[in-house]
Amino acid sequence: MPMGSDEDASKKQHLIQQVARTRDLVVHLPKYDSSKPSFDIHRELEELKGSLFVIADLSLERPSCYYELGIAEALEKKIYLIARAGTTIHQTVNRKDIQYYRDMNHLQILIDNIIQHAI
């Protein structure tokens, strides 16, 4: 998910953690520190390899989100794509499967449905 460019990033992360907790799932979320980039490809690969599924938020058209999505696709992970309504979608294999959300309430319902389906 976009971090530094999304004013709702921390709210989204909190929402995802809450929904996942109700299903006893551990969540890996991106970390963001504007003073230093924290992306570590080796750590990301290990966490993705051990994941049951991936939820990728393509809102705000961030190249880094597409990069990380490509890694998950290459690892052949089950991926659920989401984006804020109105987002332009770029290169992804599963463009037709993107689920769009209107607001935080709709996002919560969407995440809950995804997790129910995934597990």
pLDDT of residue 5: 62
What pLDDT shows up at residue 30?
66
- 86-115 pLDDT, tens digit per residue, is 998 888 777 888 999 999 999 999 999 999
Strand spans (E) along the chain: 54-57, 79-84, 99-101
pLDDT in tens, 5-21: 677 778 888 888 898 88
Position 33 scores a pLDDT of 54
Q: What is the pLDDT of residue 37?
A: 54
Q: What is the mean pLDDT of the chain?
A: 83
Threshold 0.85, pTM exceeds: no
**Domains, in order of start, for the chain:** 9-118 (3.40.50.450)
Q: Which residue(s) pair with 101 in the sheet?
A: 84
Single-letter amino acid, residue 17: Q
Q: Report the pLDDT averaged over residues 33-53.
A: 74
| Average pLDDT, integer, range 57-69 | 84
Answer positive or negative: Cα dihedral of 111, 96, 47, 10.
negative
Judged against a pLDDT cut of 90, whether residue 85 lies above it is answered with: yes
